[in-house]
Amino acid sequence: MTLDIAYIARSFTAVENRDPKADELLRRAYAETHVIPVIGLTGPAGAGKSTLLDHLAVHWAESGEHVAVIAVDPSSPYTGGAVLGDRVRMDRASGHPRVFVRSLSSRGHLGGLSRVVHDMVTVCGVLGFSRVIVETVGSGQSDIEVADLADCVVVVSVPGLGDHVQAAKAGILEIGDVYVVNKADLPDAETVVGNLLTNVGLSYPGDGGVNPSSISPRGALKSSSAQHERHGQPGVEPTYWRPPVLRVVARQGDGVPELAAACDAFLVWQHETVRDTNRRAGRVRRHLLRLAIAELSRTAGDRAQAAALDDGARALSSGRCTPDEAAMECLRALCAATLGADAGIRRD
């Protein structure tokens, strides 16, 4: 099978612009029961994500897969600088007949970036791809979004940025299914590896990958319920997943086959333990919630929204209600305005 590049490019653009031409495609995509794996790559700018992704995409493509790459670019849509840079760093993947690369600016999207990426990822299956890789810059909100979007999250760290501490603060050390230390050719890479291993070990004993629960922890474990949901609970479930920590030199492609194998091993374990369907179901629900909120404020209209927020803020500052009650009042006013607008449409 060959990818219909012109059709794919047109479809992505229609989805990105919320063009009604994409509606039929979206309908088919959301109804599709055969879902393809989504790999999310996140980490600080300059960590070498694009360089790594270039090798990773080609690795899977060479094994016969059709790979879509969606790179969310942090730069301004006006300079286009980083988009061009990505094209250079992803030259192998861009030139491969079984890989399609699309860079997305992180700004200027109707309905928000996460909605666009969510829809783009979802249409990849019906466009003929067998796998998607999404790159986002690790910075709080977008980390959460990529974690929400992907079936397997790869967190990329590098020596020299002091990002271990930053990452720990941002909670990024909880979201990885696989950890990568890139630029392992640089001094201090081992320090980063050591820190990550210590951190993973606080929650999960054993070796990177699938472990039988018979491995007993030496002390109290620090894992959260979100981690249990994604990686299992040692001593409670038959197996658990300890996120591996892998050394990579993306510039040379060193460690890429091992990274691909770790992602695939995680996907297999996640499927065997039925976590994949739960993860995807949660993702669709959260996506719907975002859409519903966006739709609510859109259909209520700017004036009704401003009025509802003014009323709520006034009630709050006069001490008449709690923030929760004020929020509930805003919601009621927005719903009333939305239903009014809706009824208006129906009368026409």
Ligand X SMILES: Nc1nc2c(ncn2[C@@H]2O[C@H](COP(=O)(O)OP(=O)(O)O)[C@@H](O)[C@H]2O)c(=O)[nH]1
Is the CB of 45 or the CB of 288 nearer to ligand X? Answer: 45
Q: What is the nearest approach in angstroms of ligand X to the Cβ of residue 245?
A: 16
Q: Which residues bind ligand X (CB under 6 A)?
A: 45-51, 89, 182-183, 185-186, 249-251
Is the CB of 196 or the CB of 304 nearer to ligand X? Answer: 196
Of ligand X, Mg ion, none, which one does residue 288 interact with (CB within 5 to 8 Å by kind)?
A: none
Q: What is the nearest approach in angstroms of ligand X to the Cβ of residue 130?
A: 23
Is the CB of 50 or the CB of 299 nearer to ligand X? Answer: 50
Is the CB of 77 or the CB of 235 nearer to ligand X? Answer: 77
Of Mg ion, ligand X, none, which one does residue 46 interact with (CB within 5 to 8 Å by kind)?
A: ligand X
Closest residue to ligand X, based on beta-carbon distance: 48
Of ligand X, Mg ion, none, which one does residue 185 interact with (CB within 5 to 8 Å by kind)?
A: ligand X
Tokens coding 30: 């959301």
Of Mg ion, ligand X, none, which one does residue 115 interact with (CB within 5 to 8 Å by kind)?
A: none
Closest residue to Mg ion, based on beta-carbon distance: 50
- SS3 track for 220-289: CCCCCHHHHHHHCCCCCCCEEEECCEEECEHHHCECHHHHHHHHHHHHHHHHHCCHHHHHHHHHHHHHHH
Residue 102 DSSP code: E
Q: What is the nearest approach in angstroms of Mg ion to the Cβ of residue 86?
A: 5
- Judge whether 59 and 173 are in contact, CB under 8 Å: no
Is the CB of 49 or the CB of 242 nearer to Mg ion? Answer: 49
Of Mg ion, ligand X, none, which one does residue 250 interact with (CB within 5 to 8 Å by kind)?
A: ligand X
Q: What is the nearest approach in angstroms of ligand X to the Cβ of residue 74?
A: 8
The one-letter code for the residue type at 132 is V
Is the CB of 49 or the CB of 55 nearer to Mg ion? Answer: 49
Of ligand X, Mg ion, none, which one does residue 51 interact with (CB within 5 to 8 Å by kind)?
A: ligand X
43: left (phi over 0), alpha (psi -120 to 50) or beta: left
Which letter, b or e, does each residue of 156-188 get, where b requires 16 or more Cβ atoms within 10 Å of its Cβ?
bbbbebebbeebeebebbbbbbbbbbbbbeeee
Query: What is the full DSSP assignment across 54-96?
Result: HHHHHHHHHTT--EEEEEEE-S-TTT-HHHHHHHHHTHHHHT-
Q: What is the nearest approach in angstroms of ligand X to the Cβ of residue 57?
A: 13
Distance between CA atoms of 66 and 96, rounded to whole angstroms? 10
Is the CB of 167 or the CB of 250 nearer to ligand X? Answer: 250
Tokens coding 339: 């239903």
Q: Which residues bind Mg ion (CB under 5 A)?
A: 49-50
Q: How far apart are the first and last CA of the chain?
A: 48
Q: What is the nearest approach in angstroms of Mg ion to the Cβ of residue 301?
A: 39
Distance between CA atoms of 83 and 73, rounded to whole angstroms? 7
